[in-house]
Structure 1
């Protein structure tokens, strides 16, 4: 299950992808449009800025813009930034592998074998679905197909 913070991050990025590419969007506008608490959104966007996903502009015409094209930002990338490893078990994590505390051996663990399939399928969907896919209605059928 993803966190509320991750859902807000994905929704904010989708809102930025829907906006004009050269026009910054104010935090207050994203917060109102996406029903995200403004202070929480500020923290999320600052984190995404530090990871090179968005950029901010100051001033009267200030706000946030996507730094990377929406079609290059995957759901998996954002979930890793916001929530950390994408794995149902620590022994299946690609970025933060850790042997399970009660492990008698990964090769013989039937639970691990089942959840390895779950993790692989999940990663396949998350890393092949982009913010552009979610933002553009023409891609919604493709996203639905991937999630089915």
Structure 2
């Protein structure tokens, strides 16, 4: 469902949220723990820094930390930087004119599912995932 880039981003942010409680987490530590390519992960983390999801600190004791509290960081803010979630509303049957006014055979059901997916990413926070419940605190 997600691109590998968006998946790596989500996994990395969850790792940072779990491990950057006392000090920033280095790219090498994240890459090693998650078995991800370090150079590619570094680019992903810098994109997340640009969008405010993460904060980076340079230097000997540098690394990455969350840019906002985990309970205020939606999965949408992480994933949508790499995968345009709303763009997934393209017609499943490939129709170019598939819209509410010119709906294909699956349009209404697909639209409902697509909206649920967007709501899931917007309404679910990193904090909820860390709590293990997936339920708002």
Normalised by the size of structure 1, how large is the TM-score? Answer: 0.79
User: Superposition pairs for residues 1-148 of structure 1, below 5 Å?
Assistant: 1-90=1-90, 102-103=96-97, 106-109=100-103, 110-134=105-129, 136=130, 139-140=131-132, 142-143=133-134
| CA apart distance, 1:102 | 2.5
SS of aligned partner of 1:103: coil
User: RMSD between aligned alpha carbons?
Assistant: 2.2
Aligned length: 133
Do the aligned partners of 1:24 and 1:65 also contact (CA within 8 Å) in 2? yes
Structure 1 contact 89–112 (Cα < 8 Å) conserved: no
Q: Which runs of 5+ in 1 are unaligned?
A: 92-99
Please state how far the C-alpha of 1:108 moved relative to its aligned partner: 4.1
How many angstroms does 1:85 deviate by?
A: 3.3
Which structure 2 residue ranges, 5 or more long, are not aligned? none
CA contact (8 A) 1:87 1:119 kept: no
User: Which aligned segments of 4 or more residues in structure 1 are displaced greater than 4 angstroms?
Assistant: none
TM-score (norm 2): 0.84
Q: Tell me the distance in 2 between the aligned counterparts of 1:104 and 1:117.
A: 14
Considering fraction of residues, name the structure with more helix. 1
